[in-house]
């Protein structure tokens, strides 16, 4: 897969595939609007540029009064996106809109029409009095991407023109996306289990609250973005920028250090050779990450052979004196088993009963849940 030459466009692309609303921050003239519109054209997406700075709150959800009744209507930008069966809604100069208008737009950011992706652009608050920090409620709904002018790219473009990039904004196939997402799910789940205090860290000042900070929602964004980044094979610089835009630079750096240290094994290899798994000594967190990925792989393809292999690892984990990891893993497997039964009870009946595969003590604790 060819990688787009512009890092901002690459990050916009990853955010769009992950369906994470994005906000671009940069001074006037840094190319925020140009990049967003170029991206829409390259992807052949219908796009609507909406200047909320010119809108009142009522313009976001127009109301019509008729014979004593109130009817809520959609603004024309949303109607056109629906008519086009989706596209890109661009909220330009977002932080120049009134606070009340910003608040009124939250519903659209949270629940846009089907197949519509929302991206906004903001000027730094220091660039003129009209631009201000976002409210924390709005800020926590976006991935924040910093845009700076690239002198080399500008100079190159004067000679060879700006790269079109039509051929290098492809979307990975479903298999690659699912593989990346499964890896990211295992890693973020294990990381938050290891450091639960980082899940929520609301800033105590309005400036920081107006940018990227950690919450349950933005960690969900980070997981989705990480999975897409793996599928796109983005480099470390892109990944740091993307995850920092979700949960803040400090959290992103610490998480990625954990990811590198974790050295997650291939869950399919564990399924093929369960007796070869050796839990890392003294690293329950690494064992939990590996087993979380394994449980996800089992749930994605339930067969009796794979199910037995998954449980075959339990004794090896217990023998390594990592009973806590074994219990977490057992929880995950039982929950997956129950969900599978709700989807296909007949197929579930053909699986070996978990009580016969797990240690007796674990069976009494887990199956009784």
For 347-359, b where at least 16 C-beta lie within 10 A, e where not — what string? Answer: ebeebeebeebbb
pLDDT of residue 152: 73
Q: How confident is the model at residue 312 (pLDDT cuts 50, 70, 90)?
A: confident
10 Cα distance to chain centroid: 15
Q: Above pLDDT 70, what percent of the chain?
A: 91
Residues forming beta bridges with residue 119, ordered by sequence position: 22, 90
164 or 143, higher pLDDT: 143
Q: How many CB atoms lie within 10 A of CB 141?
A: 21
Q: What is the dihedral of CA 160, 162, 167, 171, to 10 degrees?
A: 150
Q: Are residues 9 and 128 in the same domain?
A: yes
Instruction: Report the pLDDT averaged over residues 17-46.
Output: 91
DSSP 52-77: GGG--HHHHS-EEEETTEEEE---HH
Instruction: Report the pLDDT averaged over residues 201-212.
Output: 88
DSSP 243-307: HHHHH-HHHHHHHHHHHHHH-PPPHHHHHH-GGG--PPTT-HHHHHHHHHHHHHHHHHS--HHHH
Q: Are residues 141 and 282 in the same domain?
A: no
Lowest mean pLDDT among 87-96, 125-134, 307-316, 360-369: 360-369
Task: For residue 272, tell me if it sits in a domain.
Answer: yes
Residues 237-258 pLDDT 10s: 999 999 999 999 999 999 999 9
Lowest mean pLDDT among 163-167, 217-221, 298-302, 353-357: 163-167
Calpha distance 151→259 (Å, rounded): 33
Task: For residue 71, tell me if it sits in a domain.
Answer: yes
Task: For residue 99, tell me if it sits in a domain.
Answer: yes
In this structure, what token pair is assigned to residue 131? 């631009």
Q: Are residues 33 and 161 in the same domain?
A: yes
- Measured distance between the N- and C-terminal CA atoms of the chain, rounded to whole angstroms: 46
pLDDT of residue 167: 47
Lowest mean pLDDT among 69-73, 85-89, 109-113: 69-73
Task: For residue 280, tell me if it sits in a domain.
Answer: yes
Residue 22 sits in a domain whose CATH number is 3.40.50.300
In this structure, what token pair is assigned to residue 342? 């709700």
**Among 118, 146, 166, which residue terminates a domain?**
166
- Phi/psi for 105 (5° steps) reads -80, -10
Mean pLDDT over the full length of the chain = 87
Q: Are residues 151 and 277 in the same domain?
A: no
Residues 35-55 pLDDT 10s: 898 899 889 999 999 998 888
Q: Are residues 138 and 22 in the same domain?
A: yes
Residue 153 has pLDDT above 70, yes or no: no
Calpha distance 366→359 (Å, rounded): 10
pTM score, whole prediction? 0.84
pLDDT of residue 166: 45
Closest CA to 272 of 242, 240, 298: 298
**Among 166, 195, 223, which residue terminates a domain?**
166
**Among 166, 191, 222, which residue terminates a domain?**
166
Q: Are residues 157 and 272 in the same domain?
A: no
Q: Are residues 137 and 286 in the same domain?
A: no
Residues 71-82 pLDDT 10s: 677 888 999 999
When divided into structural domains, the chain yields a total of 2
Q: Are residues 23 and 157 in the same domain?
A: yes
Neighbouring C-alpha atoms within 13 Å toward the C-beta of 249: 5
| Residue 112: domain span | 1-166
Q: Are residues 6 and 122 in the same domain?
A: yes
Residue 157 has pLDDT above 70, yes or no: no
Q: Are residues 156 and 274 in the same domain?
A: no
Beta strands in the chain (DSSP E): 22-25, 47-51, 63-66, 69-72, 87-92, 116-122, 143-146
Residue 185 has pLDDT above 80, yes or no: yes
Q: Do residues 81 and 113 lie in contact, with contact meaning Cβ atoms separated by under 8 Å?
A: yes
102 Cα distance to chain centroid: 23
Task: For residue 35, tell me if it sits in a domain.
Answer: yes
Residues 166-177 pLDDT 10s: 446 889 999 999
Task: For residue 238, tell me if it sits in a domain.
Answer: no
Q: Are residues 126 and 17 in the same domain?
A: yes
Task: Select, from the ranges 143-152, 210-219, 271-280, 313-322, the one with the highest average predicted confidence (pLDDT).
Answer: 210-219
Task: For residue 24, tell me if it sits in a domain.
Answer: yes
Task: For residue 175, tell me if it sits in a domain.
Answer: no
């Amino acid at each position: 897969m060819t990688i787009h030459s512009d890092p901002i466009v690459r990050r916009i692309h990853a955010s769009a595939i992950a369906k994470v609303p994005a906000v671009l921050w940069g001074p006037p003239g840094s190319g925020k609007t140009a990049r967003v519109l170029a991206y829409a054209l390259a992807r052949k997406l219908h796009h609507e540029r909406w200047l909320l700075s010119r809108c009142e709150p009522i313009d976001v959800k127009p109301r019509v009064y008729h014979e004593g009744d109130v009817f809520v209507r959609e603004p024309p930008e949303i109607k056109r996106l629906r008519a086009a069966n989706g596209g890109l809604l661009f909220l330009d100069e977002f932080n120049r809109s009134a606070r009340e208008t910003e608040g009124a737009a939250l519903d659209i950011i949270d629940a846009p029409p089907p197949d519509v992706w929302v991206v906004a652009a903001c000027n730094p608050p220091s660039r003129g009095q009209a631009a201000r920090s976002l409210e924390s409620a709005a800020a926590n709904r976006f991935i924040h991407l910093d845009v700076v002018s690239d002198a080399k790219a500008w100079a190159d473009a004067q000679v060879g023109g700006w790269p079109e990039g039509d051929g290098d904004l492809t979307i990975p196939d479903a298999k690659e996306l699912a593989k990346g997402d499964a890896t990211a799910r295992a890693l973020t789940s294990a990381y938050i289990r290891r450091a639960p205090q980082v899940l929520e860290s609301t800033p105590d000042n309005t400036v920081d609250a107006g940018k990227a900070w950690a919450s349950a929602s933005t960690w969900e964004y980070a997981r989705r973005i990480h999975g897409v980044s793996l599928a796109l094979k983005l480099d470390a610089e892109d990944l740091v920028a993307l995850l920092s835009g979700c949960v803040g630079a400090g959290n992103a750096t610490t998480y990625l250090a954990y990811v590198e240290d974790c050295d997650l094994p291939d869950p399919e290899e564990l399924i093929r050779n369960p007796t070869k798994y050796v839990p890392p000594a003294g690293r329950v967190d690494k064992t939990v990450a590996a087993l979380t990925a394994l449980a996800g792989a089992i749930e994605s393809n339930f067969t009796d052979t794979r199910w037995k292999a998954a449980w075959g690892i339990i004794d090896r984990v217990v023998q390594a004196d990592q009973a806590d990891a074994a219990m977490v893993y057992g929880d995950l497997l039982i929950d997956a088993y129950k969900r599978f039964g709700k989807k296909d009870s007949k197929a579930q009946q053909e699986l070996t009963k978990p009580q016969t595969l797990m240690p007796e003590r674990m069976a009494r604790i887990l199956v009784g849940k």
